Amino acid sequence: MAEPVDVERLGQRLRRVRAQRGLTLEKLFSETGVSVATISRIERGGSKEIDAGTLVSLCKWMGVRPEEFRPGAEPPKPPGRKAAASTPEAVELYLRADKNLEPRTAALLAEMFRAAYEKLAKA
């Protein structure tokens, strides 16, 4: 039996990375081979599960490990001094690691922080 995947968290991360890279759904399709409809459904939170090939393709494109999207998985440790995480990524890691927060609450707080951070960074 396949391991469960937190598709909602995957979709949030995928949308954020795609936006940071300034790519359309069509361009992401051309780079990953994952259909536009599937990508859109994952980003909107319309998928409850995805197949392993899709997960691997999208994770490889984002440069993350599929294990990061297991329900209840510990967030990855921030990289060492060689390549430090951005401030929003570090905050997201801490929020996800907080055992007092529900995963959905941590994700929403991280999204709010990222939006505020990006808005203020442009000011």
Q: Based on the fold, state whether residues 102 and 62 are members of the same structural domain.
A: no
Phi-psi group of 71: left, alpha or beta (phi > 0 → left; psi -120 to 50 → alpha; rest → beta): beta
pLDDT of residue 120: 86
Alpha carbon distance 112, 106 (integer Å):
10
Q: What is the mean pLDDT of residues 61-67?
A: 89
Q: Based on the fold, state whether residues 2 and 60 are members of the same structural domain.
A: yes
Give the model confidence (pLDDT) of 68-106 as tens digits. Answer: 888 776 555 555 544 446 788 888 888 887 788 888 888
Q: Based on the fold, state whether residues 69 and 93 are members of the same structural domain.
A: no
Assign 42 a pLDDT band (cuts: 50, 70, 90). very high
Residue span of the structural domain in which 122 resides? 79-123
Q: What is the mean pLDDT of residues 52-81?
A: 78
pLDDT of residue 84: 44
Do 96 and 78 form a contact (C-beta atoms < 8 A)?
no
pLDDT of residue 1: 42
Alpha carbon distance 97, 89 (integer Å):
12
Total domains present in the chain = 2
Check whether 59 has a pLDDT greater than 50. Answer: yes
Which is more confident, 43 or 99?
43
Q: Based on the fold, state whether residues 11 and 62 are members of the same structural domain.
A: yes
DSSP classification of residue 100: T
Q: Which of 73, 91, 107 is the last residue of a domain?
A: 73
